Amino acid sequence: DIQLTQSPSSLSASVGDTVTITCRASGSVSKYLNWYQQTPGRAPNLLIYLASTLQSGVPSRFSGTGSGTDFTLTIHSLRPEDFATYFCQNSFGGPPTFGGGTKVEIK
């Protein structure tokens, strides 16, 4: 199975900051990597699929890059509603697995 390692596991940032979260796969997943946002008590919400395609309705301040084993999720101009936990997920190379999550907290 593909293992996904996210870093950092948590970070503190201020409204208006730009933050970058990394997801590293234990083997190549090509472009088949997706990102989700989860707020407390809610289900995860799809942000980006196929590494860089923005899900309908997701603000353009979210962006994703990467291929193979290394991927990043960038959030530009953080807004209060962006303080949440973010997960990556692989679509290929074995059963779907999720990263351990990155919690974005208010500084």
Partner 1 sequence: QLQLQESGPGLVKASETLSLTCTVSGGSVGTTRSFWGWIRQSPGKGLEWIGTIYYTGSAYYNPSLKSRVTISLDKSRNLFSLDLKSVTAADTAVYYCVRPAEFGCGETMCYWGWFDTWGQGTLVSVSS
The set of residues, in sequence order, having a beta carbon less than 8 Å from that of 59 and lying 6+ positions away, is none
State the CB neighbour count (10 A cutoff) for residue 56.
6
To partner 1, the closest distance from the beta carbon of 75 in angstroms equals 19
Pick the closer one to partner 1 by CB: 71 or 78. Answer: 71
Applying CB under 8 A, does 101 fall inside the site for partner 1? yes
Sole binder of partner 1 in the list 14, 16, 43, 80 (CB under 8 A): 43
Applying CB under 8 A, does 98 fall inside the site for partner 1? yes
Region for 88 from its dihedrals, namely left if φ exceeds 0, alpha if ψ lies in -120 to 50, beta otherwise:
beta
Burial class (CB in 10 A: 0-12, 13-18, 19+), 99: buried
Could you say which residues in the range 56-95 bind partner 1, by CB under 8 A?
87, 89-93, 95
Residues lying near partner 1 in the complex (CB under 8 A): 1, 32, 34, 36, 42-46, 49-50, 55, 87, 89-93, 95-98, 100-101
